[in-house]
Amino acid sequence: MATWISRGLRGSTLEDLVNRTNEQYREKGLALVQKIPTPITPVRMDKENRHITLAYFDQRSTVDYIGAVQGIPVCFDAKECSAQTFPLANIHPHQVKFMEDFEKQNGVAFFLIFFSYLNEFYYLTFRELMGFWKRMEEGGRKSFRKEELTEEFYLPKKGGVLVPYLEGIKLDLERR
């Protein structure tokens, strides 16, 4: 079972950027998207500082974020990548199943990939993910390379928005 201590604060900078972006979008009336907390059970506590030092996850989480963008239901997960190749092992089958079911309900599901070494954000549509996922299931690569991604879905910095994922949603909807 995965524990909090083994995963540390991996991705916390990305999470902070997305959370601030969500606040910007909410303040502008463009979207209402919230972080879904992962339920944990504390195992070890630092009683002096009142901090959890070891915990385990109660259940599998589905996605990091869920909400609505101008009446359209959205869900997404944010992943950080420090190399040219993104391992599909970072995405779990229960997440793919949830997103598949979400899309069947006319929602928009996607992944935000942060290529930290380049300081670039990529909007990975659920359809594009499924192409890589099926390739893996059929015995192909268990990852995808940065050069395999669709150029138009890189998210340019604009308008003071830290992670402008609404641009990705707009393009995603136009291509459906």
pLDDT single digits (tens) 131-145: 999 999 999 999 999
Structural domains of the chain ordered from first start: 10-37+60-174 (3.40.1350.10)
Q: What is the pLDDT of residue 51?
A: 75
Least confident of 5-9, 54-58, 91-95, 100-104: 5-9
- Other CB atoms within a 10 A radius of the CB of residue 4 amount to 19
**Residue 161 DSSP SS3:** strand
Average pLDDT over residues 52-80: 85
41 annotated binding-site participant? no
Beta carbons of 117 and 126 less than 8 angstroms apart: no
Q: What is the pLDDT of residues 27-61, one digit of tens each?
A: 999 999 999 987 666 677 787 887 777 766 555 66
- Pick the closest to residue 117 from 85, 154, 83 (CA basis): 83
pLDDT score at 139: 97
pLDDT score, position 55: 61
Q: Residue 157's pLDDT is what?
A: 84
CA angle 43, 49, 55 (to 5 degrees): 20
SS3 call for 23:
helix
- pLDDT score of 42: 67
Q: Is 125 annotated as a binding-site member?
A: no
62 is in an annotated binding site: yes
77 annotated as ligand-binding: yes
Exposure on the CB side of residue 101, measured as CA atoms within 13 A:
8
Please, what is the angle between helix 165-174 and helix 12-27, to 10°?
70
